Amino acid sequence: MKETDRLYSLIGMQTVHTDVTMRGLQQSDHHMLIVITKGSGELVVNGQPLAVHPAHVLVLSPRASWRIDARGNQPLVYNQLEFEIYAESEDGVLRRESEREEEERAVSLPEAPQLARRISSIWDGNRWDRMQANICFQELLLAVRKRLELEQNSEPEQHYDQAHESIQLTKLHMNAHFHNSLTRELLAAMAGMSVAHYSRLFKRIVGQGPMEYLNEVRIAHAGDLLLGTERTIRETANRVGYQDEFYFSRKFKAVTGFSPTVYMKKHRMSSRIASAAIPYTGHLLALGMQPFAALVNPSQEPNAGLQATMEVGYGQPDLDRLLLARPELIISFERGDYAEPDKADLFRHIAPTCTVPFHGEWRDHLRIIGRAVNRTEAAELWLEQYETLAERSRAAVREKIGDRTVAVAQFEAGRFQLFGSRNLGTVLYRDLQLTMPSQLNEVSHSRMVTIEQLVEYDIDHLILFTASEVQQREALRHALTTHSVWRELKAVNSGHIYDLGASRNYSCYTSVSHDLFLRRMTELFMSQMSMR
């Protein structure tokens, strides 16, 4: 049977987040693609360990035994795609085929994470979404097969590209494992080169030697710890890979121009603060600080209170504008949370930077930023007042609606974006301790559903975001209330649909937005003003 006669069909898709070893060995009766989208780790297949990094893809045969371990501080995120292979027999009948992989090895495919995320976003949709997901899967699998074939038949002129990729992978390894003992010998072995050749090639590609690069990575993380935590200099040194705090202090001063103690005092008192992350702008405002410069996005809050703030980009940072702002301190996401991570690497060349991992909890974000800007007490006071408000609201709302289920959704373009446990859900399900519909138990951020699918959800109260403009809002309301399925919704029949208009004031994962949403929810449930 020719390769082109085979049919490849996607039958299962899931996104997995882990910061610990997975539950023992895994096996599947189906063929599988593993796509690493974030973080680094070790994938063990049939006893063979493989180092994996973002954009790595692995094809697994049916019944292959595997497990995956996260490495470093960042959680490992990967997509797991199961598929079947069918071949047409002489009598025209399609039969399932098992195609064994000659060897299990990871290939690097830059477009793989984007394709996998696209498949994940539409896989749980209707039949047309499923068809589109299968088309994207075919594109991904074809690219993987071509890359495998190219590497198996590589010509000498392709060796430099492979060497360049090996250098990039050791950079990723250093970024993820900077706190471990790393040597030129170990890194060269990872790249499959001699120490001398690896060092020369690394410097030619990166612009500095591997140990210089590693030192800068360590010092950058040390700066984050000094500003955002209460660790001592010795604890900070040990945390980023230095055993001698005095050696660490000399290296720190050589890179930043300041000793660790002076660095903390100087930058915690900065007044020219630039926020390179919209949620962190909200935290600064909660601490009573207006950033000197900040990203602005008209479709997202917080924007109120930023009239005198210099704009340094819409959604993504504009490095030229950030440079012109001449900030004394930059508050940012981790590099992997930006659409262009290489730009984020340049923040530290503009000003000392405190990076705050976005995958954490928003209260931790506020505390880290509070310490970085010398507002630790203000952060704790704000949180204490918020918890008092949440406790009071929780008791009142729970008395009103009991254990009935509550969901929040954005209605747009004929579909509902149902929010899970993070963002808006953290106020409903953590702070107010309301009951989540069982179908959302495994949803972190959100899930897109049609109105026909929404009927299947056990929702007693539905909080709905539509639009800010009155005319558009009325049009969306009309589209909903006249839909033949609308009256089948449990929340509609009980009169528990709450239209809040635009979501921009509430949907940002930040302290000020959560405070607004908590107050609005309490007001809504206590008044029970709903639309039918």
pLDDT at 169: 86
pLDDT-derived band of residue 438, with 50, 70 and 90 as boundaries?
very high
pLDDT-derived band of residue 21, with 50, 70 and 90 as boundaries?
very low
Full 3-state SS string of 439-494 = HHCCCCCEEEECHHHHCCCCCCEEEEECCCCHHHHHHHHHHHHCCCCHHHCHHHHC
Residue 74 phi, psi (nearest 5): -90, 135
Across the range 243-248, mean pLDDT stands at: 92
Neighbours of 388 (CB within 10 A): 10
pLDDT at 291: 92
Question: Which residue type is seen at 524?
Answer: L
Q: Which residues contact 454 (CB under 8 A, 6 or more apart)?
A: 409, 416, 418, 489
Across the range 65-86, mean pLDDT stands at: 82
pLDDT at 100: 63
pLDDT-derived band of residue 244, with 50, 70 and 90 as boundaries?
very high
CA gap 306, 238 in Å, rounded? 39
Contacts 24+ apart (CB under 8 A), 311-314: 312/274, 312/276, 313/276
Q: Which two tokens stand for residue 423?
A: 């963002």
- Range with the poorest average pLDDT among 103-112, 223-232, 386-395: 103-112
Strand order in the sheet with 329-332: 310-311, 293-294, 273-275, 329-332, 353-355
Residue 374 has pLDDT above 80, yes or no: yes
**Which region, left, alpha or beta, applies to residue 62 given φ > 0 means left and ψ of -120 to 50 means alpha?**
beta
Q: Specify the 3-state DSSP secondary structure of 416.
A: strand
pLDDT at 157: 46
CA gap 385, 187 in Å, rounded? 50
Across the range 254-267, mean pLDDT stands at: 87
State the DSSP code for 26: B
Question: Which residue type is seen at 177?
Answer: H
CA-to-CA separations, 69 to 3, 18, 23, 33, 65, in angstroms, rounded: 34, 8, 10, 17, 14
CA gap 490, 407 in Å, rounded? 12
280-336 pLDDT, tens per residue? 999 999 999 999 999 887 665 555 567 788 999 887 888 889 998 999 999 999 888
pLDDT-derived band of residue 156, with 50, 70 and 90 as boundaries?
very low
CA gap 3, 220 in Å, rounded? 50
CA gap 61, 264 in Å, rounded? 53
Q: Which residues contact 379 (CB under 8 A, 6 or more apart)?
A: 286, 287, 366, 367, 369, 370, 371
Residue 4 has pLDDT above 60, yes or no: no
Residue 531 has pLDDT above 60, yes or no: no
Residue 188 has pLDDT above 70, yes or no: yes
Highest mean pLDDT among 168-177, 240-249, 464-473: 240-249
Considering only CA atoms, which of 61, 55, 162, 54 is closest in space to residue 104? 61
CA gap 274, 351 in Å, rounded? 9
Residue 480 phi, psi (nearest 5): -75, -50
Residue 51 has pLDDT above 80, yes or no: no
pLDDT at 305: 64
pLDDT at 22: 46
Considering only CA atoms, which of 472, 466, 530, 474 is closest in space to residue 502? 466
pLDDT at 19: 58
Half-sphere exposure of 79 (CA within 13 A, CB side): 25
Question: Which residue type is seen at 244?
Answer: D
The DSSP code sequence of 400-411 is: HHTT-BEEEEEE
CB neighbour class for 363 (10 Å; exposed up to 12, middle 13-18, buried from 19): middle
CA gap 469, 467 in Å, rounded? 6
Across the range 352-357, mean pLDDT stands at: 90
Considering only CA atoms, which of 75, 135, 71 is closest in space to residue 334? 75
Domain annotation for the chain: domains and CATH numbers? 3-152 (2.60.120.280), 160-264 (1.10.10.60), 269-374 (3.40.50.1980), 390-527 (3.40.50.1980)
Instruction: Specify whether the CB–CB gap between 164 and 110 falls below 8 A.
Output: no
Instruction: Specify whether the CB–CB gap between 286 and 512 falls below 8 A.
Output: yes
